[in-house]
């Protein structure tokens, strides 16, 4: 009858300070292993173990593929790699991004749900959007417990509120209370006979298989279409589930929540509009130069054509610019003549 001896923690924007505060309150002799995912860029985040190690009394290090999971240790997902939990070891993967990020919380949470079921505690701290929400639902469905940082305390409440919506019985606590809850639950035995036998979750296992195995070319040819394409690779997406947490998955394994998908689509539209505006501005400037050269040589008809093209390009840029500003990007760089 083990206690809840495995804790998976997810954080994003505003999450570093939350993690430091949480680790400050955890005891040195905690009989549990902690696995942490913080959204960081692929080239950053290598100092996170040192920061968290200085904040508390538990030893912290960057996770290594294949290493055993031990009580009283903190494992941090490396930049650019998903961290997953096997039966007794950590697995690292450069598999498809989830919700547009890698490392992501959902692969860790889902693998932990399969590996350790009722021994799990999932913790969601400050962050935007909703990474971790689907993973919280998976952990809860297999007997684990979900803890959410109180949105009133979170620097960013998107991830906490998404986890609260996905889980049926989340514990909404402040950071000091989260530390006390983890400590108490890690010492409390979980009688297996009080829990129903958990069947294999083939859908969950299939999602995780994408993280650990290359995608075969035959998997990319025919999938039921949802009318939406993947912002990451352009493949068609299919909808997984009709009730929260709804997810969209492409044949390459990229997994999106609706909120993350909308955000990624908006970013893609903004990039296209910005690029189009800049190219039109450049076209206008170039045709103005050509017109001046033609006029200097006395080729007035050609000069008129160049100036007409420049005017048309500026007009098109003026029409696109309000779309960028309404999307919150502000005006693109460069003068508007």
Are the C-beta atoms of residues 303 and 295 closer than 8 Å to each other? Answer: yes
For residue 207, what is the DSSP state?
H
Look-up: residue for tokens 């993690």? 19
Q: Is 150 marked active-site? A: no
- CA geometry: angle 163, 246, 6, nearest 5 deg: 40
Which distant-in-sequence residues (6+ apart) come within 8 Å of 308 by Cβ? none
Look-up: residue for tokens 């997984």? 240
Report the half-sphere exposure of 212 (CA within 13 A, side-chain side).
17
Look-up: residue for tokens 């040192």? 50
For residue 14, what is the DSSP state?
T
Tokens representing 45 are 């985040």
Q: Per the residue annotation, which of 39, 82, 98, 254 is the catalytic one?
A: 39
**Residue 326: its H or E element:** helix 300-326
Are the C-beta atoms of residues 144 and 171 closer than 8 Å to each other? Answer: no
Residue 285 vs residues 81, 132, 310, 321, 331: alpha-carbon distances, Å = 44, 48, 7, 17, 18
Tell me the three state secondary structure of residue 196: coil
Q: Is 65 marked active-site? A: no
Q: What does residue 6 show for φ and ψ, rounded to 5 degrees?
A: -135, 125
DSSP track, 124-158: E-S-STTTTHHHHHHHHHTT-EEEEE-TTT-SS-H
Tokens representing 18 are 């939350």
Q: Per the residue annotation, which of 12, 126, 186, 257 is the catalytic one?
A: 12
Q: Is 126 marked active-site? A: no
Q: Per the residue annotation, which of 5, 106, 130, 131 is the catalytic one?
A: 131
Tell me the three state secondary structure of residue 213: coil
What is the pairing mode between strands 238-240 and 247-249?
A: antiparallel
User: Hey, which residues are catalytic here?
Assistant: 12, 39, 131
């Amino acid at each position: 009858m083990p206690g809840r001896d495995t804790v998976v923690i997810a954080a994003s924007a505003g999450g570093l300070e939350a993690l430091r505060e949480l680790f400050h309150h955890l005891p040195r002799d905690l009989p549990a292993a902690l696995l942490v995912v913080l959204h960081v860029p692929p080239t950053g985040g290598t100092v996170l173990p040192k920061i968290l190690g200085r904040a508390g009394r538990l030893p912290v290090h960057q996770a290594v593929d294949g290493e055993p999971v031990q009580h009283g240790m903190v494992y941090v997902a490396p930049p650019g790699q998903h961290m997953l939990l096997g039966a007794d070891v950590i697995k690292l993967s450069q598999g498809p991004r989830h919700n547009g990020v890698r490392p992501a919380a959902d692969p860790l949470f889902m693998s932990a749900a399969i590996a350790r079921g009722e021994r799990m505690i999932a913790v969601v701290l400050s962050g935007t959007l909703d990474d971790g929400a689907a993973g919280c639902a998976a952990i809860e469905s297999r007997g684990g417990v979900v803890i959410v940082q109180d949105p009133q305390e979170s620097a960013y409440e998107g991830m906490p509120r998404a986890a609260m919506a996905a889980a049926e019985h989340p514990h909404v606590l402040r950071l000091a209370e989260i530390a006390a809850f983890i400590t108490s639950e890690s010492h409390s035995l979980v009688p297996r006979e009080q829990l129903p036998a958990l069947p294999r979750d083939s859908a969950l296992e299939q999602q995780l298989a994408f993280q650990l195995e290359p995608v075969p070319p035959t998997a990319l040819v025919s999938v039921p279409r949802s009318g939406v394409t993947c912002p990451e690779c352009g493949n068609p997406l299919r909808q997984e589930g009709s009730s929260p947490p709804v997810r969209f998955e492409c044949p390459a394994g990229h997994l999106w929540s609706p909120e993350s998908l909308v955000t990624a689509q908006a970013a893609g539209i903004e990039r296209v509009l910005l690029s189009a505006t800049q190219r039109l501005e450049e076209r206008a400037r170039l045709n103005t130069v050509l017109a001046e050269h033609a006029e200097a040589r006395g080729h007035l008809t050609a000069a008129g054509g160049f100036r007409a093209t420049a005017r048309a390009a500026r007009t098109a840029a003026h029409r696109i610019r309000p779309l960028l500003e309404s999307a919150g990007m502000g005006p693109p760089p460069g003068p508007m003549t």
